[in-house]
């Protein structure tokens, strides 16, 4: 691991200059000749039958080119990433406010808006339900024909009855976590272009272009080869752009109108229509001995997946696996229920189930400590995973030894922060939370990622990353790992945005796995690329392959002393004259070996874990219940830090998102039965809200299957904040909150 040339360095992001000079192009920035504009008519009802949609008046408006409704859909109307339960345009039923009903294509956005106003939709309102437990009652309004229970997962290990019998103390507590909006600054946008040959090109800010292509082909009844999905620069995603709806709508608009059509969501549409983090209620019953060792855990979790399934079942699976946290609990029984409601859709969002359970189990750890008169660090020491331990899904935990160092560092931070006296009139408290996140998609789910390298005529190497860079810097770390594997300078690497016509299929950028998968695939591709270079050089120069040694972008002749090294450009330049290129791909599959337990449904278990610890100090205004986080210490094990500044940036951003979860963000139904859907009501953390002291500690316990030891960081960075704050609040006030965002009313004395 020593003497790495670029991995481990804070190289400049590949697209940083474009982004600071305004030349980086996001989908909404694109202009093409004869571009038309699409706007979406969305349901104003939470739950209703549609008896008629009258577009006649709208179609008369000059400048309106086409209006698409469900009856126009040429192919498979129903789709979904896991369960096919959704039509891109509502047919005879709407199930959530904001559900797309029609697309209006016009010469300008204004004309499309005018047309949208005069489309008459006759709704027959149906009773609606917005709570998952209520939705599962027998008399609840039925949202889908097979009932409101979308999934139920049950996972157990050991015997909870024995476990509870062995306990000296049993606590039963419930917790509630809100609906969170991913809140990327770039709202969803898609531009679809229908060309004269009847082929479709779709630009979309997406986490999964190949999957989008597949869905578009299904819905339009077109071969995938006639569809090209291309990425632009993406302005953040966090899971919310793991949804094909916008691409499908733009494709339908282009198909119907035979034009190029751009659709850009307003902020309000983005909030209503794109997937959010599952709200949930978590019921935990835990048994513990007086010495702090937990003997049993029984949990029931109810998740609100909203009107359509999206990734609900997968989120539920990951959530279930994290129910006990990073702790060795011999007897566990977990049940997770995913319910349909008439809420906007919940789906993939950073954490994918782990932020929800983290708030529950880390609040509970402190509650147990408090009841037993134990220190918060000590009770965790008694229960954290040790090397060789398995999760309750019976998977060996990787680098469990990192937890001990994390706790030690956390304990140190806690002592230091406790010494700081509160400002006059305030109370202060320090809180701790550990966290676990899983990597990958789970056993049995295809989890392969292919990336490609091309040696260019000028000697540089182009990395065709097969999965999108969401703004987190995937292309940058891919470039670094390619440079490292080839022994050449980072400046010699170019990267390309994903284009399904040219790029290999790298899979979905999600699940804290892309750096890991890409790095491995790139290493494989690099080796093949080098072999090809040697082969071609041998052929062109008439030198036996055994006499050529590759070194740092050059070839050394071992049969002639003092011979000049042959540069890669010498070879690739000559190949270009022959119209040939050196290209190599590598496909890496997330490692699920035969030793992985297979007693759980497909998608479970996950087999690699990320671990973290967080310490938070808050100051509280006791009269008003206002919480001010003053210090956050985030301790993470990344396995190998490929790019320190990039990794720190992700962690710091994760802290902001996690603090929002704990303190200010909630998308809920207001008294007037409208959803919170504007940034005046959905409150991100601003510069003023952030703690003035943020410390990021990055540990490196190498993961043997990761390139250079790499693990993921993207999601775990935003997991422990809410619990750390809640525990700090308890330390400051003696008040235990069971819901987030924390309400001031609960704290104001």
Partner 1 sequence: MKKIRVTLTVNGHTHLFETDPNRTLLEVLREDIGLTGVKEGCSEGECGACTVIMNDEPINSCLVLIGQADNSNIETIEGLAKDGKPHPLQKAFVELGAVQCGFCTPGMIMASKALLDRDPHPDEEQIREALSGNICRCTGYKKIIEAVQSAAEEMSHE
Partner 2 sequence: MEAFDFLVPANLQHLATLLQTPGRKLIAGGTDLIPSLRQAHSLPAQIIDISRLRELRFIREQNRIVHIGALTSFRDVQNSRILNETAPALVQAAGQIGSPMIRTRGTLGGNIANASPAADSLPALLIMDASVTMSSQNGLRTLRLCEFLLDPGKTDIHPDEILTDIFFEKLPSNCATSFVKIGPRRGMTIAIVNAAALVGLDSDGRINQARLSIGAVAPTALRCRRTEQALIGNLPSEKLWESISSLIQEEISPINDIRGTSQYRRRAAFILSKRALNAATQSLQTRMQA
By CB under 8 A, name the one of 649, 702, 705, 739 that touches partner 1.
649
Cis omega (within 30 of 0) for bond into 605: yes
By CB under 8 A, name the one of 561, 688, 692, 704 that touches partner 2.
688
* Interface mask toward partner 1 for 64-103; x: CB under 8 A: ----------------------------------------
Binding of residue 15 to partner 1 (CB under 8 A): yes
In the complex, the smallest distance separating the C-beta of residue 664 from partner 1, rounded to whole angstroms, is: 12
DSSP state for residue 184 in the 8-state scheme = -
Binding of residue 687 to partner 1 (CB under 8 A): yes
How far is residue 446's CA from residue 460's CA, in Å, rounded to a whole number?
32
User: Among 34-42, 405-413, 637-645, 675-683, which window interacts with partner 2 (CB under 8 A)?
Assistant: 675-683
Q: Which of the choices partner 2, partner 1, none does residue 650 contact, using the CB cut-off of 5 to 8 A by kind?
A: partner 1
Which H/E stretch holds residue 404?
helix 402-418
By CB under 8 A, name the one of 124, 560, 624, 693 that touches partner 2.
624
How far is residue 615's CA from residue 409's CA, in Å, rounded to a whole number?
10
Residue among 230 and 631 whose Cβ is closer to partner 2: 631
Binding of residue 16 to partner 2 (CB under 8 A): no
Binding of residue 623 to partner 2 (CB under 8 A): yes
Binding of residue 496 to partner 1 (CB under 8 A): no
By CB under 8 A, name the one of 473, 507, 625, 639 that touches partner 1.
473
Residues 515, 470 contacting (CB under 8 angstroms) = no
Strand order in the sheet with 566-567: 548-551, 554-557, 566-567
Tokens for 431, please give them.
């809180």
Count CA atoms within 13 Å of residue 110 on its CB side.
Answer: 1
Q: What angle do CA 426, 429, 434 make, to 5 degrees?
A: 150
Binding of residue 470 to partner 1 (CB under 8 A): yes
How far is residue 355's CA from residue 349's CA, in Å, rounded to a whole number?
10
Collapse the DSSP code of 106 into the 3-class scheme (helix H, G, I; strand E, B; otherwise coil) and give the result.
Answer: strand
User: Among 209-217, 227-235, 684-692, 695-703, which window interacts with partner 2 (CB under 8 A)?
Assistant: 684-692
How far is residue 327's CA from residue 380's CA, in Å, rounded to a whole number?
8
Binding of residue 661 to partner 1 (CB under 8 A): no
In the complex, the smallest distance separating the C-beta of residue 665 from partner 2, rounded to whole angstroms, is: 10
How far is residue 116's CA from residue 255's CA, in Å, rounded to a whole number?
19
Q: What Rg do the C-alpha atoms of the chain give, in angstroms?
A: 27
Place of tokens 């300078």: 489
Give the CA-trace dihedral at 507, 510, 513, 514, to 10 degrees: 60
User: Among 6-14, 38-46, 305-313, 321-329, which window interacts with partner 1 (CB under 8 A)?
Assistant: 6-14
The Cβ of residue 616 has, within 10 Å, a number of other Cβ atoms equal to 34
Which H/E stretch holds residue 93?
strand 93-94
Binding of residue 423 to partner 1 (CB under 8 A): no
Binding of residue 645 to partner 1 (CB under 8 A): yes
Binding of residue 689 to partner 2 (CB under 8 A): yes
DSSP structure string for 129-164: ---HHHHTSTTSPP-STT-SEEEEEEEEES-HHHHH
Residue among 133 and 268 whose Cβ is closer to partner 1: 268
In the complex, the smallest distance separating the C-beta of residue 623 from partner 2, rounded to whole angstroms, is: 5
By CB under 8 A, name the one of 13, 86, 464, 606 that touches partner 1.
13
Binding of residue 184 to partner 1 (CB under 8 A): yes
In the complex, the smallest distance separating the C-beta of residue 581 from partner 1, rounded to whole angstroms, is: 31
How far is residue 353's CA from residue 315's CA, in Å, rounded to a whole number?
5
Binding of residue 656 to partner 1 (CB under 8 A): yes
Residues 349, 276 contacting (CB under 8 angstroms) = yes
Which residues, 455 to 494, sit near partner 2 by CB under 8 A?
A: none
DSSP structure string for 321-385: HTTT-SB--SSEEEEEEEEE-SSPPB---TTTTHHHHHHHHHHHHHHHHHHHT--HHHHHHHHB-
Of 75, 42, 63, nearest to 200 by C-alpha is: 75
In the complex, the smallest distance separating the C-beta of residue 503 from partner 2, rounded to whole angstroms, is: 38
Residue among 76 and 268 whose Cβ is closer to partner 2: 268
* Interface mask toward partner 2 for 335-374; x: CB under 8 A: ----------------------------------------
Binding of residue 670 to partner 2 (CB under 8 A): yes
Binding of residue 618 to partner 2 (CB under 8 A): no
Q: Which of the choices partner 1, partner 2, none does residue 626 contact, using the CB cut-off of 5 to 8 A by kind?
A: partner 2
By CB under 8 A, name the one of 5, 9, 25, 394 that touches partner 1.
25
Residue among 304 and 665 whose Cβ is closer to partner 1: 665
Partners of residue 463 on adjacent β-strands: 453, 495
Binding of residue 112 to partner 2 (CB under 8 A): no
How far is residue 182's CA from residue 720's CA, in Å, rounded to a whole number?
17
Q: Residues in the site for partner 1, rule: CB under 8 A?
A: 10, 12-13, 15-26, 28-29, 31, 110, 182-187, 233-236, 238, 264, 266-267, 470-473, 645-646, 648-657, 678-680, 684-688, 690, 692, 694
Q: Residues in the site for partner 2, rule: CB under 8 A?
A: 110, 117, 623-624, 626, 628, 663-664, 670-671, 676, 680-681, 683, 685-689, 744-745, 748
């Amino acid at each position: 691991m020593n003497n790495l040339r670029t991995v481990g360095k804070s190289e400049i992001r590949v697209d940083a200059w474009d982004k600071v000079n305004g030349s980086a192009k996001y989908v909404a920035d694109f202009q093409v000749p004869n571009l038309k504009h699409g706007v979406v008519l969305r349901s104003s009802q939470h739950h209703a039958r549609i008896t008629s949609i009258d577009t006649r008046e709208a179609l008369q408006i000059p400048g309106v080119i086409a209006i698409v409704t469900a009856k126009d859909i040429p192919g498979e109307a129903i789709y979904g990433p896991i369960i096919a339960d959704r039509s891109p345009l509502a047919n005879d039923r709407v199930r959530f406010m904001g559900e797309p009903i029609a697309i209006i294509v016009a010469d300008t956005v204004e004309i499309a808006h005018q047309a949208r106003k005069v489309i008459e939709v006759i709704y027959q309102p149906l009773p609606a339900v917005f709570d998952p437990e209520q939705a599962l009652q027998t008399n609840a309004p039925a949202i889908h024909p097979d009932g409101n229970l979308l999934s139920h997962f049950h996972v157990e290990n050991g015997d909870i009855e024995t476990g509870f019998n062995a306990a000296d103390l049993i606590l039963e507590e419930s917790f509630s976590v809100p609906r969170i909006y991913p809140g990327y600054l770039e709202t969803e946008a898609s531009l679809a272009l229908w060309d004269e040959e009847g082929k479709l090109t779709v630009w979309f800010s997406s986490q999964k272009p190949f999957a989008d292509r597949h869905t578009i082909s299904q819905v339009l009844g077109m071969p995938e080869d006639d569809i090209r999905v291309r990425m632009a620069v993406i302005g953040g995603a966090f899971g919310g752009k793991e949804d094909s709806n916008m691409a499908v709508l733009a494709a339908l608009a282009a198909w119907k109108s035979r034009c190029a059509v751009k659709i850009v969501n307003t902020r309000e549409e983005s909030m209503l229509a794109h997937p959010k983090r599952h709200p949930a209620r978590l019921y935990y019953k835990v048994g513990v001995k007086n010495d702090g060792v937990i003997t049993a855990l029984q949990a029931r979790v109810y998740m609100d997946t909203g009107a359509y399934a999206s990734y609900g079942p997968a989120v539920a699976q990951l959530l279930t696996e994290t129910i006990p946290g990073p702790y060795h609990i011999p007897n566990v029984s977990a049940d997770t229920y995913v319910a349909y409601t008439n809420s906007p859709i919940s789906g993939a969002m950073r954490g994918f189930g782990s932020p929800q359970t983290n708030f529950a189990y880390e609040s509970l750890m402190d509650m147990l400590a408090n009841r037993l008169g134990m220190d918060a660090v000590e009770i965790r020491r008694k229960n954290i995973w040790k090397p060789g331990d398995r999760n309750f899904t019976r998977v060996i935990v990787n680098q469990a030894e990192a937890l001990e160092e994390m706790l030690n560092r956390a304990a140190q931070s806690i002592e230091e922060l406790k010494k700081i006296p509160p400002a006059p009139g305030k109370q202060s408290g320090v809180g701790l939370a550990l966290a676990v996140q899983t990597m990958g998609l789970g056993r049995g789910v295809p989890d392969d990622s292919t990336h490609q390298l091309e040696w260019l005529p000028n000697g540089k190497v182009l990395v065709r990353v097969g999965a999108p860079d969401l703004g987190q810097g995937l292309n940058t770390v891919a470039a670094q790992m390619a440079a490292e594997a080839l022994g050449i300078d980072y400046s010699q690497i170019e990267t390309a945005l994903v284009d399904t016509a040219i790029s290999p299929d790298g899979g979905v950028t999600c699940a804290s796995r892309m750096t890991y998968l890409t790095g491995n695939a790139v290493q494989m591709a690099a080796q093949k690329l080098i072999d090809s270079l040697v082969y071609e050089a041998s052929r062109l120069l008439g030198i036996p392959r055994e006499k050529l040694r590759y070194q740092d972008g050059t070839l050394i002749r071992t049969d002639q002393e003092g011979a000049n090294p042959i540069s890669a450009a010498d070879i690739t330049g000559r190949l270009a004259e022959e119209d040939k290129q050196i290209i190599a791909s590598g496909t890496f599959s997330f490692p699920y070996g035969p030793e992985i337990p297979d007693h759980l449904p497909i998608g479970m278990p996950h087999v690699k874990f990320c671990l973290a610890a967080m310490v938070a100090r808050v100051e509280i205004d006791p009269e008003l219940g206002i919480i001010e986080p003053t210090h956050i210490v985030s301790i993470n094990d990344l396995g190998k830090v490929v790019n320190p500044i990039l990794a720190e940036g992700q962690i710091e951003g994760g802290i902001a998102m996690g603090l929002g979860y704990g303190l200010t963000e909630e998308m809920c139904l207001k008294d007037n039965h409208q959803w919170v859907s504007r940034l005046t009501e959905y409150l991100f953390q601003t510069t003023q809200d952030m703690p003035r002291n943020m410390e990021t500690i990055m540990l490196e316990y190498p993961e043997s299957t990761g390139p250079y030891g790499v693990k993921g960081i993207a999601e775990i960075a935003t997991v422990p904040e809410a619990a750390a704050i809640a525990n700090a609040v308890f330390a400051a006030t003696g008040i235990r909150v069971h819901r987030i965002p924390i309400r001031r009313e609960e704290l104001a004395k």
